Amino acid sequence: MASTKDCRNSAIRCIEMANKAVSPRLQTALIELARSWMRLARELESQTAFSERAEDAVVVPTKH
C-alpha cells in the first residue's frame, strides 16, 4: 500500500512532467493525475487518523 509520502511524490513527478510536456492534452492529463495522487494522499491521511482515533478509544461495556 502506498504511503501519503509516496502519493505526494507521485503528484510532484506528474507536475514536473506536465511542465515539460509539449502537448496541452498531455499537460492536462498529468495535472489531473497529480490531483488524483493528492486526493489519495488526503484520503489515506484521513483513514489513518480515523484508525488511530478508533484504536485510542476506550470501550466501556455497559451493564444491563
Q: pLDDT tens digits, residue range 25-48?
A: 999 999 999 999 999 999 999 987
Answer whether residue 33 is part of any domain. yes
Given a cut of 70, is residue 60 above it in pLDDT? no
18 with 27: CB under 8 angstroms? yes
Answer whether residue 48 is part of any domain. yes
Answer whether residue 10 is part of any domain. yes
Q: 14-30 pLDDT, tens per residue?
A: 999 999 999 999 999 99
The C-alpha torsion from 3 through 5 and 9 to 11, rounded to 10°, is 70
Answer whether residue 31 is part of any domain. yes
Q: How far is it, in rounded angstroms, from Cα 8 to Cα 41?
A: 7
Domains in the chain, number = 1
Answer whether residue 61 is part of any domain. no
pLDDT at 62: 75
Answer whether residue 62 is part of any domain. no
Q: What domain range includes position 35?
A: 4-56
